[in-house]
């Protein structure tokens, strides 16, 4: 018996010891996530971080709402807050279409999701910008990564300042949005709103820097190459009414892209292989948002979808019979016209165009007209008109008439691509819809309804933005 007892004491002791092995608690590691240290060990890791941002631009449902499709939400809103696209009943985005304050003001999910998503991409870009220089790789490899990240950071700031304030030309000293240039940490207390002009300065700085770094090669049209950077510079300068640079970069951006044919125009706007697409977001069967996607709302001939976006009859009537863009059908139940420009691929994997050559012609035309270079403007405008409509006649207008013609052409050419609302803001136009609309908005130029309020969660947690800094 004595032996047994001693044995037990030994056994007990050994069991106590066995439980405290150090590795037992050290071994487990994340299996579906990686640390920043692992990511920035190689240029491939940094590239994955960039790919993540490109993917995130078109991912849905991140914050939980069905109508949060990343950049595409802003794009859909961009048409529905204009005068040409229309809804006919309460359905997705009708809050935006009806300019309902609940979707614009401080507590709305719309402003929260746009704000958080764009700043998230800024922070991811900042992390890449901070850690890429330390990677053991060639300067060329690192510069390409840095340039794309700078371009992304610039684009996000630019979009935010367009959404959260009136246009640059109205008041460059107005409060813009916070500029973030460093990766966030737990100690980040949030930056104050910078002035609109400071935000634009930073955007131009980043894009100019990016233009030095990035080349023209890329694996997918989602990636920012030199053409995308130039195109963004053209857009930014157009907003700043720097006409000469706007025209200059517009020409640079489109130089390797040819305008598509009329047949291509009618082919659905769903493939990045299109000759004039400079920047586009493609998807595949696994990554498609399907029901929750751009095409689900726009494409009435899709097998399934919300199919809720129509257009104003007066807008449809702007197109001549010979215009390749005269792509409309009539819904006899709803008694409304809808566009057939955007049609999804049969497997719901249509790509989204984010920038194309014709926009660059239009920027050039508008900038040249504003600068008083009428012939150059007329030529740029006619380049599009003649491509779309064989019976088009070259404009002989000048001055503001010519500018108005360019703006009308923008509506016709870029319908459904998210420009309508931003052009109204940029040109400081009133917003008045015609009789065919379910909701006939009548808002003055620079109406407060055109500016999103900063989300409540930002006001509550940012030590440098308070209630009194809020937009009206």
Partner 1 sequence: MKKKLFSMLVLCLIGLQGLMAQGREISGIVTSADDGLSIPGVSVIIKGTTIGTTTDFDGKYTINVEEEGQTLVFSFVGMKTAELSANTDIINLVMESESIGMDEVMVVAYGTAKKSSFTGSASVLKKEALENMQVSSVTKALQGNAPGVQVISSSGQPGANPTIRIRGTGSINASSAPLYVVDGAPFDGNISSINPDDIETMTVLKDAAAASLYGSRAANGVVIIKTKSGKSGKTKISFKLQQGFSTRAVDGYDFVRGDEYYQLYWEGLRNGAISDPTAMSGYASAEAYATDNVVKQLVYNPFNVDKPIGLDGQVVDGAKLLYNADWQDALSRTAKRTDAGLSISGGDEKTQYFLSAGYLKDEGIALTSDFERYSSRVSVTTKAKEWLKTGISANMSRTEQNAPTSSGGSYRNIFLFENTPASIYPVYERDSEGNIVYENGKKKYDYGKTRPMGASDNTNPVASTEMDIIKNTRTTVGINAFAEATFLENFTFKTNLRSDYYMRSYESYYNSEFGDGAGYNGRSTKRKYETFSWTYTNTLNWTKTINEDHTFGALVGTEAYSYNKQELKGQKTEFPFNGVTELSVGAQVSNLSSGTYDHRIVGYFSQFNYDFRNKYYVSASFRRDGSTKFHTDSRWGSFWSVSGSWRIDQEEFLSNVDWLSSLKVRGSYGTSGNDGLLDADDNTDYFPYLGLYETGYNDLANAGIVLASLPNDALKWESNAQANIAVEFGFLNQKINGSIELYERKSKDLLFARPMPLSSGFTSVNENIGDVKNTGIEFVINTVNIETDDFYWETSFNVSANKNEITKLPQEKMPIDNYREYRAGTSIYDFYIRDYAGVDAIDGAAMWYTMDDEGKKVTTKDYDSADRFYSGSAEPDFIGGITNNFRYKNFDLSFMFNFSVGGKVYDSSYSALMHAGTNVGKQMHEDMLNRWRKEGDKTNVPKLDNSVGTNYNAISTRFLFNNDYARLRNITLGYTLPSNLLEKINLSKARVYVQADNMLTFSSHKGMDPEQSTSGITNNRYPALKTVSFGVKVDF
**27 burial class (0-12, 13-18, 19+ CB within 10 angstroms)?**
exposed
Pick from 277, 373, 460, 469: which binds partner 1 (CB under 8 A)?
Answer: 460
State the binding string over 412-451 for partner 1 (x if CB under 8 A, else -): -----------------------x----x-----------
State the binding string over 221-260 for partner 1 (x if CB under 8 A, else -): -x--------------------------------------
CA 444 to chain centroid: 26
Integer Cα distance of 461 and 449 in angstroms: 25
Is 48 near partner 1 (CB under 8 A)? yes
Contact 125, 156 (CB under 8 A): yes
Is 39 near partner 1 (CB under 8 A)? yes
Is 348 near partner 1 (CB under 8 A)? yes
Interface residues for partner 1 in 117-176 (CB under 8 A)? 119-124, 127
Is 10 near partner 1 (CB under 8 A)? no
Comparison of 156 and 377: residue with beta carbon closer to partner 1: 156
Is 263 near partner 1 (CB under 8 A)? no
Structure tokens belonging to residue 389 = 């409509």
Interface residues for partner 1 in 385-414 (CB under 8 A)? none
Is 50 near partner 1 (CB under 8 A)? yes
Helix H or strand E segment including 314:
helix 313-316
Residue whose structure tokens are 């309508």 = 420
Pick from 41, 61, 100, 251: which binds partner 1 (CB under 8 A)?
Answer: 100
**360 burial class (0-12, 13-18, 19+ CB within 10 angstroms)?**
buried
Is 89 near partner 1 (CB under 8 A)? yes
Backbone torsions φ then ψ of 432, nearest 5 degrees: -135, 125
Nearest to 268 by CA among 368, 354, 343, 332: 343
Q: How far is the CB of 180 from partner 1 (least distance, A)?
A: 6
Pick from 73, 132, 165, 180: which binds partner 1 (CB under 8 A)?
Answer: 180
The upper half-sphere exposure of residue 242, i.e. CA atoms within 13 Å in the direction of its Cβ, equals 16
Angle, alpha carbons 419-424-428 (nearest 5°): 145
Is 181 near partner 1 (CB under 8 A)? no
Q: How far is the CB of 54 from partner 1 (least distance, A)?
A: 4
Is 330 near partner 1 (CB under 8 A)? no
Residue whose structure tokens are 């130039």 = 230
How many residues belong to the site for partner 1 (CB under 8 A)? 93
Integer Cα distance of 245 and 233 in angstroms: 8
Is 30 near partner 1 (CB under 8 A)? yes
Pick from 136, 216, 217, 219: which binds partner 1 (CB under 8 A)?
Answer: 219
Phi-psi region of 64 (alpha: psi -120 to 50; beta: other; left: phi over 0): left
Pick from 75, 81, 110, 112: which binds partner 1 (CB under 8 A)?
Answer: 112
Integer Cα distance of 154 and 177 in angstroms: 13
Comparison of 160 and 420: residue with beta carbon closer to partner 1: 160
The upper half-sphere exposure of residue 93, i.e. CA atoms within 13 Å in the direction of its Cβ, equals 30
- Per CB under 8 A, the segment of 1-9, 319-327, 360-368, 402-410 that binds partner 1 is 1-9
Is 216 near partner 1 (CB under 8 A)? no
């Amino acid at each position: 018996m004595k032996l047994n007892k001693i044995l037990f004491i030994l056994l007990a002791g050994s069991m106590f010891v066995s439980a405290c092995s150090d590795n037992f608690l050290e071994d487990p590691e994340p299996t579906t996530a990686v640390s920043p240290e692992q990511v920035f060990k190689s240029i491939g890791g940094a590239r994955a971080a960039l790919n993540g941002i490109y993917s995130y631009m078109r991912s849905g449902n991140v914050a939980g709402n069905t109508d949060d499709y990343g950049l595409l939400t802003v794009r859909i809103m961009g048409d529905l807050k204009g005068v040409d696209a229309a809804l006919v009943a309460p359905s997705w985005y009708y809050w935006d279409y009806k300019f309902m304050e609940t979707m614009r003001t401080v507590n709305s999910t719309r402003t929260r999701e746009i704000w958080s998503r764009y700043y998230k991409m800024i922070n991811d870009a900042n992390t890449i910008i901070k850690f890429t220089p330390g990677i053991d790789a060639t300067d060329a490899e690192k510069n390409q990564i840095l340039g794309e990240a700078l371009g992304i950071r610039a684009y996000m700031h630019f979009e935010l300042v367009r959404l959260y304030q009136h246009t640059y030309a109205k008041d460059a000293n107005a409060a813009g949005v916070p500029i973030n240039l460093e990766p966030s940490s737990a100690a980040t207390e949030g930056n104050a709103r910078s002035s609109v002009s400071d935000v634009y300065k930073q955007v131009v700085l980043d894009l100019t820097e990016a233009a030095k770094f990035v080349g023209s090669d890329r694996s997918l049209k989602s990636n920012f190459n030199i053409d995308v950077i130039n195109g963004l510079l053209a857009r930014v300068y157009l907003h700043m009414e720097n006409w000469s640079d706007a025209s200059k970069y517009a020409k640079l951006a489109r130089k390797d892209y040819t305008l598509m044919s009329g047949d291509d125009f009618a082919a659905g706007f769903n493939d990045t292989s299109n000759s004039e697409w400079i920047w586009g977001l493609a998807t595949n069967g696994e990554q498609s948002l399907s029901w929750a996607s751009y095409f689900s709302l726009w494409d009435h001939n899709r097998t399934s979808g919300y199919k809720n976006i129509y257009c104003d009859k007066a807008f449809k009537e702007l197109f001549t019979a010979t215009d390749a863009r005269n792509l409309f059908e009539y819904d006899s139940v709803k008694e409304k016209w809808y566009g057939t420009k955007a049609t999804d691929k049969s497997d719901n994997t249509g790509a989204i165009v984010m920038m194309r050559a014709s926009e660059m012609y239009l920027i050039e035309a508008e900038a040249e007209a504003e600068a008083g270079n009428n012939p150059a403007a007329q030529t740029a405008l006619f380049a599009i008109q003649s491509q779309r409509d064989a019976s088009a006649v070259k404009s002989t207008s000048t001055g503001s008439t010519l500018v108005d013609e360019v703006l009308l052409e923008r509506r016709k050419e870029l319908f459904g691509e998210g420009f309508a609302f931003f052009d109204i803001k940029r040109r400081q136009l009133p917003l008045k819809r015609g009789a065919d609309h379910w909701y006939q908005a009548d808002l003055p130029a620079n109406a407060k309804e055109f500016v999103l309020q900063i989300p409540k969660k930002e006001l509550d947690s940012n030590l440098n933005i308070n209630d009194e800094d809020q937009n009206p």
